[in-house]
């Protein structure tokens, strides 16, 4: 404990350790959350719309279809002319402009060809896709209505009058959709944007923080103080054990600070505190074991830091700390669980939002403890060669 206490004191004075353990992950998570955090729940797009038609169909498109998107973060600006709309798209003021030409409603109601024009802002591919999707959906709906009217008229075997078509059209539009679609998440595994980035970045940096203790052993050898530690009446295993305690405490402290800070600064929702605490401590144990083992493969502290970075970044990417594992292809999603990061993110995702319990994350905890024990035991055996002055 004496050696671990000394190392912790040195860490407080060593700004690079604080930067790695707390400041860098917090800043990065905050930036990513600010830029991308709401992307999963809101569209964040601005459209211009030109209604040259002014008829029933175009008013329905603007007043109902586009208006309904405003709840999802879409802003609609009505402009007078296609030229004005084009200028706005070119200047980047809007993601896309939708032009409803005059005669649109008449064309639709008389079963003739009609067209909605989309003017794209080339720098907003996502916004353009949204506009195309909305317009395409509306066109598909109109086509389905037209098809159903044609079917009814064909069945009656009588000629179509304007009154008949309008009557059937009203009925078709007002009828309820026969099949509804409801989105449900499988289980409770559902990160919100802020929590995902807070968790992902914290876990990513944990694997750098957890290496600091093992690397400090190599630093002590370089600085000459390891000789003094070994010459003192202290067992070598105690020196190695002290470095492990140091890593564990540093990792746990950094995670605790990041969890509390992200909760208050980014509104991250981590879930059941007890379950999160047990899962995070298991994560620190696994990270410490893995990075200690990696460190024993190196001869110098610089080399160890390099190896640790390669392992941390590779497994971090594979383990879903930068993108949800659900977005990975099937095989990759399965393969990702060779990385402890994936188990941690899986467990944190289970708890995020408050639905998950300790019981739900027991498999992840067991996997992390097993991972930590195997890598930690190998690291302990190999560390004997490091504790030589």
Partner 1 sequence: MVVAQTSPGAPSSAERATVLECRGLEKSYGDRHAVRGVGFEIVRGETYGLLGPNGAGKTTTISMICGLLARDAGEVVVDGKPLETTSTEAKNAIGYVPQDLAIYPDLTARENLTFFGRLYGMARADLKQRSSEILEITGLADRSDERTDGFSGGMKRRLNIGIALLHKPRLLVLDEPTVGVDPQSRNAILSSVETLSGEGMAVLYTTHYMEEAERLCDRVGIIDEGEVKAEGTRRELVAILGERDRVSLDASGDVNVAARSLAELEAVDEVTASDGGIDLILQDASSHLPGLLEVVASAGAQVTGVNVVEPDLEAVFLKLTGKALRD
Residue 98, classified by CB atoms within 10 Å of its CB into exposed (0-12), middle (13-18) or buried (19+), is: buried
| Residue from the set 13, 179, 330, 385 that interacts with partner 1 by CB under 8 A | 13
DSSP string, 54-101: -SHHHHHIIIIIIHHHGGGTEEEEEES-HHHHHHHHHTTSSSEEEEE-
Contact between 263 and partner 1 (CB under 8 A)?
Answer: no
Nearer Cβ to partner 1 (13/331): 13
Instruction: Name which position in 126, 227, 260, 297 contacts partner 1 (CB under 8 A).
Output: 227
Check residue 87 for interaction with partner 1 (CB under 8 A).
Answer: no
Q: Does 159 bind partner 1 (CB under 8 A)?
A: no
Question: Does 228 interact with partner 1 (rule: CB under 8 A)?
Answer: yes
User: For partner 1, how many residues bind (rule: CB under 8 A)?
Assistant: 22
Does the footprint of partner 1 cover residue 147 (CB under 8 A)? no
Q: Which stretch binds partner 1 (CB under 8 A): 151-159, 170-178, 228-236, 332-340?
A: 228-236
Nearest-angstrom CA–CA distance, 190 and 91: 37
Long-range contacts of 147-154 (CB under 8 A, 24+ apart): 148/172, 150/111
Phi-psi region of 44 (alpha: psi -120 to 50; beta: other; left: phi over 0): left
**Cβ-contact 47, 93 below 8 angstroms:** no
Give the one residue of 76, 139, 230, 253 binding partner 1; rule: CB under 8 A.
230
Q: How far is the CB of 214 from partner 1 (least distance, A)?
A: 18
Interacting residues with partner 1 between 236 and 255 (CB under 8 A): 236
Phi (first) and psi of residue 77, to 5 degrees: -120, 120
Give Dmax (Cα) for the chain: 107
Q: Closest separation between CB of residue 240 and partner 1, Å?
A: 13
Structure tokens at 259: 């969890």
Does an H or E element contain 49, and which?
strand 45-51
For residue 302, the minimal CB distance to partner 1 (Å) is: 17
Cβ of residue 209: shortest distance to partner 1, in angstroms? 18
Instruction: Candidates 46-54, 115-123, 231-239, 371-379: pick the segment binding partner 1 (CB under 8 A).
Output: 231-239
Q: Is 218 in the site for partner 1 (CB under 8 A)?
A: no
Binding-site member from 233, 330, 331, 359 for partner 1 (CB under 8 A): 233
Is the Cβ of residue 239 or residue 283 nearer to partner 1 in the bound state?
A: 239
Q: How far apart are CA 234 and CA 254, in angstroms?
A: 29
Binding residues vs partner 1 (CB under 8 A): 2-3, 6, 9-10, 13-14, 223-225, 227-236, 388-389
């Amino acid at each position: 404990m004496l050696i671990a206490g000394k190392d912790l004191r040195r860490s407080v004075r060593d700004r690079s350790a604080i930067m790695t353990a707390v400041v860098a992950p917090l800043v990065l998570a905050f930036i990513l959350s600010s830029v991308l955090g709401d992307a999963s729940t809101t569209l964040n797009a601005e459209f211009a719309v030109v209604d040259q038609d002014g008829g029933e169909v175009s008013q329905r498109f603007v007043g109902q279809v586009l208006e309904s998107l405003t709840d999802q973060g879409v802003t609609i600006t009505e402009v007078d002319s296609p030229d004005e709309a084009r200028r706005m798209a070119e200047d980047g003021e809007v993601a896309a402009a939708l032009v409803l030409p005059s005669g649109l409603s008449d064309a639709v109601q008389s079963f003739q060809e009609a067209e909605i024009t989309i003017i794209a802002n080339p720098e907003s591919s996502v916004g353009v896709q949204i506009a195309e999707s909305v317009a395409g959906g509306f066109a598909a709906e109109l086509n389905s209505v037209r098809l159903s009217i044609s079917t009814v008229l064909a069945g009656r075997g009588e000629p179509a009058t304007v009154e008949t078509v309008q009557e059937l059209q009203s009925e078709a539009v007002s009828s309820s959709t026969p099949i509804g679609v409801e989105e449900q998440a499988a289980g409770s595994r559902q990160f919100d944007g802020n929590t995902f980035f807070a968790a992902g970045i914290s876990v990513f940096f944990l694997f750098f923080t957890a290496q600091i203790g093992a690397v400090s052993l190599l630093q002590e050898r370089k600085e000459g103080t390891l000789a003094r530690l070994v010459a003192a009446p202290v067992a070598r295993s105690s020196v190695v054990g002290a470095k492990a305690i140091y890593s564990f405490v540093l990792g746990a402290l950094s995670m605790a600070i990041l969890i509390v800070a992200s909760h208050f600064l980014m509104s991250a929702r981590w879930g059941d505190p007890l379950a999160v605490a047990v899962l995070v401590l298991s994560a620190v144990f696994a990270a410490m074991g893995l990075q200690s083992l990696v460190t024993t493969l190196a001869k110098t502290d610089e080399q160890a830091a390099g190896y640790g970075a390669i392992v941390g970044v590779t497994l971090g990417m594979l383990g879903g700390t930068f993108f949800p594992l659900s977005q990975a292809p099937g095989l990759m999603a399965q393969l990702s669980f060779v990385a402890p990061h994936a188990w941690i993110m899986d467990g944190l995702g289970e708890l995020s939002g408050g639905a998950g319990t300790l019981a739900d994350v027991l498999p992840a905890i067991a996997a992390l403890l097993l991972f930590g024990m195997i890598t930690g035991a190998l690291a302990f055996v190999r560390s004997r060669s490091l504790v030589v002055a």
